[in-house]
Amino acid sequence: MSDVVLAARNIGVRFGGLVALDEVDIEVPSGALVGLVGPNGAGKTTLFAVLSGLLRPVKGTVELLGRDVTKMSPQARARMGMARTFQHLELFHDLTVRQHVVLAYRVRHSYSRLWRDLIDLRGFRRPPREEDRRVDSLVSLLGLESVAEVPVAALPLGTTRRVEVARALAAGSAVLLLDEPSSGLDPRETQQLSQVLRTIVDAEGVGILLVEHDVGMVLGLSSMVTVLDFGRRIAVGTPDEIRQNEQVKAAYLGDSADTDGSVA
Amino acid sequence: MLQFVIAGLVVGGIYALASAGLVITFVSAGVLNFAFGSIAYSVARTYYYLHVQHHWALLPSVVFCMFVIGPALGAFLFFVLFRHLALASTLVKVVITIGLSVALPPIVVLLFGDMQIALAPGIAPQPVHIFHVLGAAISMDQLLVYIFVAAILGIGFAVLRFTDAGLGVRAMVDSPAMTSLSGGNPSRISLAVWMVSTFLAGVCGMLLAPIIGLSASAFTQLIAAAFAAVVAARLRNLGVAIAVSFAIGVAGSVLQYWLPPASTLTTAVLPSVPFAFIVVFLVYHIVRAGRVAEGEGVGGALDRAIVPHGGARLAASLEKASGGGVDPRISTWAPIVGFAFVLVLPNLLHPFWVGLMAQAVATTLFMLSYTLVTGEGGMLWLSQITFAGVGALVSAQLATRHGWPVLLAVLVSALIAAAMGTFLGLVTLRLGDVYVALVTLTAGLLMEGLVFTRPVFLQNGVGVVLNRPHFANSDKAFVYLGLAAIVLVSFLIINVRRSTTGLALNAVRWSETGARTLGISVVQMKLLVAGLSAFVAGIGGAFLGMQGRVALGDNFSVYFGFVLLTVVVTIGIRSNFAAIVAGLSFVMFPQLLEEWLSPKWIQLTPILFGIGAIQLAKHPNGVMVEQMHENGRKVTALLRRLSGRGPSEGQPQPADPPEQPATVVS
């Protein structure tokens, strides 16, 4: 197995008297796609918030690239190499598709430009060739060329989901957390997105943690799957193992669920 | 002592009515009504007009103003304005109520005449009867305040708790969407709430008039004290708001008992009491919850889910803002040609008008601070005028009292304003939009009352001399100095906009969560824009001081800041050239009205700009900027037709953007 880029161990989260996460472990190797599934209220989004630093756990640790980041802010984790998308989009409506990617690239590769640009007037000059190349390749990889100069507010949901992924990749991340990226997409768009995710894992070599309600998509794409229920991890294994797991069937999949995960 | 407690309970009772009126409109309509003071003033002035100027009998005047004019004003405002704001952002709603607060008083002045009214009768028969209870004197006016407050709060509580109408209002507070789905009528309930709120404003106005006289700015300032109670109540807890209102009233009065009378300390400390409450409660809320944002407590999950943050409407607005469809050459050259025209104006105009231009360029410099903080940063700061005041007052101290070169003094004073802005940015980091507006308003009022009135700045009301640089002593030279400063600041803003900094600012503006998970420090970005905009405001203030050759705190009142904000919002909050037009319009337009019509019509200026700001929901980029872009599109189309390329050649026509499903910013 490849190196583990993200690991959460023994994570516990409480909201008052409610145990949202109880001793949950999860690992994401580099160059692999790990699925995270579970019924509503299982704790998937809470775990994502803990991993990305938006929520601090009452116990447990989060390690990014072998370093304990449990107490680090979201922006510090982002600069170390973690990026995420949101179920409810967190895009910057005024910015074009390309500007999203450019901003993410610069935050990761030349953060000081956030201040230096004010003084050295670099905003008036052409961007470095390397930046242009990387931005163009990501825009192309995600199939966004035709809308590159369009403000994201004018784009349909399926396209904006791809913008979030492009932005996350531009940050040069070692690990990507994708929170229900197919939410609101039609079957054709879901299929396109699945292809994009496969390409990213193969071409970019990043580790992806995918939370999804579309079980077919998760089981079709993932090399490993973790299942949560009521804040506890009830199963972890390959897609085939998960399909056969009686506890998972009882809690989540059911007997007749379409879980073949066929992805073109 | 009892006498002071009685007086404190009177003021506290009026605050309680005001805070109740503010809370009910916020929880039911999501609007924190910054125009509450202006509405109170308008009803009170109408009462004065009928009862004193037209000798209506007391009872008909009171009944007509309190029960007809107040609620009717609420119904009118609801139908023409507030019912259209359901889906507007918090920032837009606040600016619109500020526009209303600016437009209403001059409308009243136009209707009823411009009079300085220091002594206004209350609703008690004259001469006012005095009662004696336990050795303390209670006037009939004070007694009526107690009776009104007790009756209104008692009836309000009973209606909310025990009637179907009250149930409807409480359901609306929890979720307008669910109320609607359950067969209720949110519009009717909102109408009733607005009528009750303006009724309360009217009652406050009529009860306050004998205490503070009739002045729109005094009303705004005093009602702003009720914001302290509203902050304590986290904008929605009626009981807490009322209790804290009484506490503020009594605390202020008891302090007055303990502090030495006729001392400058007393006159400075007393108006600060409500703001001390704001600071205490904000710190308490932040320590308890980590962050204070208005959205957390408003509406149910369904209501939050249907608030649009994208879609064709927003896309169309952005398209208008960016001047989409306009030939880039026109977008580039139109402001340059416009600026060139402004450059030659001092050589064409009569010296009188050049003098006005000097004032206009100084005002423009100040307005560019709004372009930065609100246009680029997306934050509504109501204390920009205070930073301008700091710029002027400190420049005068350094240049006139300490003999510094004036331009160095201006630079240093602007740096001091920037430091203050950065500090205020730090204080407001964990606050939502409405709280930021409230805290910056509070800071402005505090500075206005506590600092600007210090003898060292006030100099018996004449201020401190602030001379212009010797090379810019004439109005014409000063205009060119101001225009040079405008070019520099505009260049700074354009650079911010085009740079990585601008992209990051934009990111923070639209989604703090998205920006943070991208690796952007929201703290750094907010402090940057706060400091820069305060710096620009400080420069603008110093130029305003130099233009009038005196630095006086009275020229930098928060209310005046409201007026300037409405002007720049009306013309265009995100355009440097619009700021120049705003400065020229604000200064020249009243003079033109006076020349063409009569001095009375000067009042039209704040009315028009106030109404312009009210249009913000419809024209988020400013009326003038959107019109300029529209004209640009027409000229582009005309040029294409003339060149034979036609609209469809050269580049494909974009299809209508598809409507994006509503998304939620968590």
Domain of A10, CATH number, reads 3.40.50.300
In the stretch 218-237 of chain A, residues with CB closer than 8 A to chain B read: none
> Alpha-carbon distance B324 to B318, whole Å?
8
Q: Say if residue A251 is in the same domain as residue A128.
A: no
What are B519's two structure tokens? 């690796």
Which residues of chain B are within 8 Å of residue A153 when distances are taken between CB atoms? 310-311, 314-315, 318, 660
Alpha-carbon gap: A14 to the closest alpha carbon of chain B (Å): 16
Q: How many domains would you assign to chain A?
A: 2
Q: Say if residue A123 is in the same domain as residue A189.
A: no
Q: Does A264 reside within a domain?
A: no
Q: pLDDT for A187-207, tens place per residue?
A: 888 888 888 888 888 877 889
Strand partners, A59: A12
Alpha-carbon gap: B436 to the closest alpha carbon of chain A (Å): 21
A156 contacts chain B (CB < 8 A): yes
Question: How many residues are present in chain A?
Answer: 264
Q: In this predicted structure, what is the pLDDT of residue B294? A: 57
Q: Say if residue A140 is in the same domain as residue A194.
A: no
Q: Say if residue A59 is in the same domain as residue A103.
A: no
CB contact under 8 A, A90 and B513: yes
Q: Say if residue A168 is in the same domain as residue A215.
A: no
Q: In this predicted structure, what is the pLDDT of residue B648? A: 46
B322 contacts chain A (CB < 8 A): yes
Q: Which of A157, A172, A187 is where one domain is finished?
A: A172
Q: Say if residue A104 is in the same domain as residue A148.
A: yes
Q: Does A40 reside within a domain?
A: yes
Alpha-carbon gap: A257 to the closest alpha carbon of chain B (Å): 28
B337 or A125, greater pLDDT: B337
Q: Say if residue A181 is in the same domain as residue A167.
A: no
Q: Which CATH class is domain B2-305?
A: mainly alpha
Which member of B311, B514, B521 has the closest CB to residue A92? B514
* DSSP per-residue codes, B477-507: HHHHHHHHHHHHHHHHHHHHHHSHHHHHHHH
Q: In this predicted structure, what is the pLDDT of residue B622? A: 75
Q: Say if residue A3 is in the same domain as residue A112.
A: no
Q: Say if residue A181 is in the same domain as residue A252.
A: yes
> Alpha-carbon distance B40 to B198, whole Å?
8
A73 contacts chain B (CB < 8 A): yes
Mean pLDDT (whole number) for A128-150? 89
Q: Say if residue A30 is in the same domain as residue A71.
A: yes
Q: Evaluate the CA torsion angle B524, B527, B530, B532 in order and state its sign.
A: negative
Which member of B495, B507, B519 has the closest CB to residue A118? B495
Q: In this predicted structure, what is the pLDDT of residue B296? A: 45
B313 contacts chain A (CB < 8 A): no
Asked if B455 and B263 count as a contact pair (C-beta separation under 8 A), the reply is no
Per the structure, the complete domain to which residue A228 belongs is given by 1-81+175-257
Q: What is the ipTM of this complex?
A: 0.79
CB contact under 8 A, A91 and B514: yes
Alpha-carbon gap: B657 to the closest alpha carbon of chain A (Å): 5
Nearest alpha-carbon partner for A223 in A1, A25, A5, A45: A1
Q: In this predicted structure, what is the pLDDT of residue B331? A: 73
Q: Which of A129, A155, A172 is where one domain is finished?
A: A172
What is the percent of chain A where pLDDT is above 70?
94
In the stretch 479-498 of chain B, residues with CB closer than 8 A to chain A read: 492, 495-498
Asked if B432 and B90 count as a contact pair (C-beta separation under 8 A), the reply is yes
Q: Say if residue A228 is in the same domain as residue A200.
A: yes
Question: Quick one: DSSP state of residue B66?
Answer: I
Extract the residue ranges of chain B whose pLDDT is less than 50. Answer: 296-312, 648-666
A115, closest residue in chain B (CA to CA): B501
Q: Which of A140, A172, A204 is where one domain is finished?
A: A172
Its pTM surpasses 0.90: no
Domain boundaries, chain B: 2-305, 323-557
A185, closest residue in chain B (CA to CA): B661
Q: pLDDT for B488-546, tens place per residue?
A: 999 888 888 888 888 898 898 888 888 888 888 888 888 999 999 999 999 999 999 99
Asked if B252 and B11 count as a contact pair (C-beta separation under 8 A), the reply is yes
Provide the pLDDT confidence category of residue A1 given band limits of 50, 70 and 90.
very low
Q: Say if residue A167 is in the same domain as residue A195.
A: no
Q: Does A88 reside within a domain?
A: no
> Alpha-carbon distance B463 to A169, whole Å?
59
Q: In this predicted structure, what is the pLDDT of residue B650? A: 42
Nearest alpha-carbon partner for B532 in A106, A102, A119, A123: A119
CB contact under 8 A, A94 and B312: no
Q: Can you give chain A as a three-state secondary structure string?
A: CCCEEEEEEEEEEEECCEEEEEEEEEEEECCCEEEEECCCCCCHHHHHHHHHCCCCCCEEEEEECCEECCCCCHHHHHHHCEEECCCCCCCCCCCEHHHHHHHHHHHHHCCCHHHHHHHHCHHHCCCCHHHHHHHHHHHHHCCCHHHCCCEHHHCCHHHHHHHHHHHHHHCCCCEEEEECCCCCCCHHHHHHHHHHHHHHHHHHCCEEEEECCCHHHHHHHCCEEEEEECCEEEEEECHHHHHHCHHHHHHHHCCCCCCCCCCC
B331 contacts chain A (CB < 8 A): no
A–B CB contacts, 8 A cutoff, strictly below = 142
Mean pLDDT (whole number) for A37-57? 88
B651 contacts chain A (CB < 8 A): no
A192 contacts chain B (CB < 8 A): no
Q: pLDDT for A15-31, tens place per residue?
A: 877 888 998 999 999 88
Which residues of chain A are within 8 Å of residue B528 when distances are taken between CB atoms? 115
